[in-house]
Structure 1
């Protein structure tokens, strides 16, 4: 499979990710458990967005964006557009992740000062899972071209399913992942700081914090199944696929705290995501008949997502209406769910 990723580019990218995570962990350890303010979340969100666009600008220059050779310049422009389109699609799909994380935090009553740590571990898990799935997906596509059609059909199906599920109130109580966890793991009735395990009545138990991280890992896997085919519809270059995914994920934690307080304002966003997924899936299915230009894909994605966000603000959700996450988790009454969670813990 053809890729612009040279050994030097891969090495620089991996080094950057390691340094970024190390700095994040160092800052988190130094600050300790604390509630992330809107100001802090906004600053970090802007920083990660700026870093992403600085990277693509540098990549464009490195590939010869300023070259006098038309072929080299065309390649640089194409790869930059692929990165930006993939980044925006992954960033938009990450919004649905955020709504699910919010539902989990609400259900388990995770204290605000502990949410930062949970998200940090969730991001590391997502990075590892995406890297593995992208490499496997790239190999499958290079060996079996028909996989593109399978990915395309899956995205169209997912988009249609997401459209019909939008606006419906999901049910966390019947979620099989949570039911399995509650049956197989002893869960303490309360938190013990930021510890994942504690002792209660002399018995070692997992704290709700550990359960939340476990469920977030499951969520990462499920959303990766949707997002990986989506990015491969935009580009099959493993370097562009992985970098656009990683940069979108690195800013996920800051974006969570920024959007957590306003998730109901974007109640129509899931409809926009559904349209984008159907469009991308259709593009994949038509790849051997007509290759939709990457510029059109980028413009369509931006237009649809911007339109649904503007319409969400212009036509606010009615009281009691779901924010529209298509994933089967629910952020119902915290007190009610907390009580049921404790009863389940005692049963174990």
Structure 2
């Protein structure tokens, strides 16, 4: 599998990420446990987006984007576009991830000042997990080309499934992972600061915060299975796949606090994400018949997400979270005790 990832680029990328995480950890420890304000979340979100674009600008320059060699400029432009498209797709899919985080935090009534620490641990776990899965995915594609069709079909199936599940409130009480944790772990009735374990009657028991961390990790695994095939539909270059994934995840914590208070305004975004997954899956299924330009993928992703966000503003949800005036995208099932409309 051809990649632009030279030892120098991998080293620079690793240093870039380590420094970014160190700065983030320093800020987290200095601030301590506190409720993240909308202003703070917005500032950090912009910082992480700026860091991502600084990286792709440096990558473009390193590949010869500003030089006189036409071939080098073309390669630099293509790789920069692949990074931006992959980054945007991963950011968009992360929004759905964020809404599940919000559901978990709400279910366990996690104090706002503790959520920051949980998300940081979850992000570190997601970074390691994505790196492993991406390397496995790259190896599979290099060995078995037909796996691309499996990935494409899976994305189309996931998109259709996401479409029909959009607008439905998931029931965490019946979640198999949560039931499994409860059967195998004694859980304290309340929190003990930011501790993951505490003592009750001399016995060491887990706090609800540890359960939340475990569930967040499981959510990361589930969403990684969806998002990694999506990025391979944009580019097969392992360096671009990993870097765009990592930079999308780095800003996930700040984006969570930014969207947590306004998530209801974008209640139709799940439909847009479903369409994006189907389009990307279709692109992967057509890879040997027609290679859809990356610029088209980027334009389609921006258009679909932009339209669904605008529709979310003009079609406000009702109290039950459904779009006002019925379902513009799917047919709502009539409840058994609900009279038929005339």
Normalised-by-shorter TM-score class? over 0.9
Once residues 41 and 170 of structure 1 are traced to their aligned partners in structure 2, the CA distance between those partners, rounded to angstroms, is 26
- Equivalent residues in 2 for 1:22-101 (5 A)? 22-101=22-101
- Equivalent residues in 2 for 1:120-269 (5 A)? 120-269=120-269
Once residues 167 and 31 of structure 1 are traced to their aligned partners in structure 2, the CA distance between those partners, rounded to angstroms, is 36
Q: What does residue 342 of structure 1 align with?
A: none
**Other structure's SS at 2:172 match:** coil
Once residues 81 and 29 of structure 2 are traced to their aligned partners in structure 1, the CA distance between those partners, rounded to angstroms, is 37
For structure 1, the residue ranges without an aligned partner over 5 or more in a row are 325-348
Quote the offset at 1:322 in angstroms.
5.7
Q: What does residue 297 of structure 1 align with?
A: 297
Equivalent pairs counted in the alignment come to: 324
Quote the offset at 1:308 in angstroms.
0.5
| Greater relative CO, 1 or 2 (CA 8 Å, sep 6+) | 1
Once residues 54 and 15 of structure 1 are traced to their aligned partners in structure 2, the CA distance between those partners, rounded to angstroms, is 14
Contact 1:169-1:322 within 8 A present in 2 as well: no
Give deviations 1:128-155, integer Å, cap 9, x for gaps.
0000000000011011100100000000
Give deviations 1:83-103, integer Å, cap 9, x for gaps.
000000000000011100000
Quote the offset at 1:42 in angstroms.
0.5
Once residues 138 and 183 of structure 2 are traced to their aligned partners in structure 1, the CA distance between those partners, rounded to angstroms, is 37
**Other structure's SS at 1:236 match:** coil
**Other structure's SS at 1:204 match:** strand
Once residues 171 and 32 of structure 1 are traced to their aligned partners in structure 2, the CA distance between those partners, rounded to angstroms, is 32
**Other structure's SS at 1:173 match:** helix
Quote the offset at 1:67 in angstroms.
2.1
Quote the offset at 1:124 in angstroms.
0.2
Q: What does residue 313 of structure 2 align with?
A: 313
Once residues 43 and 173 of structure 2 are traced to their aligned partners in structure 1, the CA distance between those partners, rounded to angstroms, is 36
Quote the offset at 1:12 in angstroms.
1.0
RMSD: 1.1
Give deviations 1:74-122, integer Å, cap 9, x for gaps.
1111101100000000000000111000000000000000000000000
Does 2:33 match 1:15?
no
Once residues 320 and 58 of structure 2 are traced to their aligned partners in structure 1, the CA distance between those partners, rounded to angstroms, is 46
- Equivalent residues in 2 for 1:273-284 (5 A)? 273-284=273-284
Quote the offset at 1:218 in angstroms.
0.3
Once residues 310 and 244 of structure 1 are traced to their aligned partners in structure 2, the CA distance between those partners, rounded to angstroms, is 26
**Other structure's SS at 2:205 match:** strand
**Other structure's SS at 2:305 match:** helix
Quote the offset at 1:182 in angstroms.
0.7
Give deviations 1:312-345, integer Å, cap 9, x for gaps.
0111111121699xxxxxxxxxxxxxxxxxxxxx
Once residues 276 and 269 of structure 1 are traced to their aligned partners in structure 2, the CA distance between those partners, rounded to angstroms, is 11
Contact 1:187-1:207 within 8 A present in 2 as well: yes
Give deviations 1:156-186, integer Å, cap 9, x for gaps.
0000000010011211111100000011100
Once residues 81 and 19 of structure 1 are traced to their aligned partners in structure 2, the CA distance between those partners, rounded to angstroms, is 25
Once residues 12 and 70 of structure 1 are traced to their aligned partners in structure 2, the CA distance between those partners, rounded to angstroms, is 25
Contact 1:234-1:294 within 8 A present in 2 as well: yes
Once residues 32 and 266 of structure 2 are traced to their aligned partners in structure 1, the CA distance between those partners, rounded to angstroms, is 31
For structure 2, the residue ranges without an aligned partner over 5 or more in a row are 328-342
TM-score normalised over the length of structure 1: 0.92
